[in-house]
Amino acid sequence: MSWQAGGLTIEILQGDLTQQDVDAIVNAANNDLELGGGVAGAIARAGGPQIQAECRAIGPIDVGDAAITGGGNLTARFVIHAASMHLGGRTSADSLRGSTRRSLEIASDRDLRSVAFPAVGTGIARFPLEECARIMVEEVVAHGRKPSSIRQVRFVLFGAEAESAFRDEANRQLVAPE
């Protein structure tokens, strides 16, 4: 299912983020850029050790910021690491909003056209799913109002509950699905 937000097409689906054929996938990262469990662990396993090596050369970064590395063995050329928490900490609304915004800015600065996001902060960092969906969709919609190279944002979610939360939020904020 897809929605329009300015020049962006937004897609929401269940799936494996690491298998997405997009320019960049977004990692739900900690500010130390250590790829441990959850989404980060899946990216590390699928993408290979070069992603963690690049992260160690960059990190740490501020909570609420983001950084970009190569995609290693992934189909995606890049991984954007959205630092929504401290290592072992929790995600806040402000850090989620900031790291989502920075991820989109970095993608646009690199002239990327397609980006796939998970539900950042809802796993290990225990951020509420519905609030995550609201904030992330708001940030994507706001980005769609500005000049940007990005043409497609895909939310690739784990499980029916997350997919439903993001679909409900997209229906609230955007025109009816195609």
Q: State pLDDT tens for residues 81-138.
A: 999 999 878 899 999 999 999 999 999 999 999 999 999 999 877 899 999 999 999 9
Indicate the pTM of the whole model. Answer: 0.96
Binned at pLDDT 50, 70 and 90, residue 177 comes out as low
pLDDT at 79 over 90: yes
pLDDT value of residue 37: 87
Torsion of CA 64, 153, 20, 73, to 10 degrees: -50
CA–CA separation, 105 and 103 (whole Å): 5
Distances 32 to 29, 45, 86 between C-alpha atoms, Å: 8, 18, 7
Answer yes or no: is pLDDT of 160 > 80: yes
pLDDT at 176: 55
Give the number of other CB atoms < 10 A from CB of residue 57: 10
Per-residue pLDDT, 98: 98
Stronger pLDDT, 97 or 178, i.e. the higher one: 97
Query: Nearest-CA neighbor of 155 among 173, 124, 92?
Result: 173
Q: pLDDT at position 123, please? A: 85
Q: Which CATH class is domain 2-173?
A: alpha beta
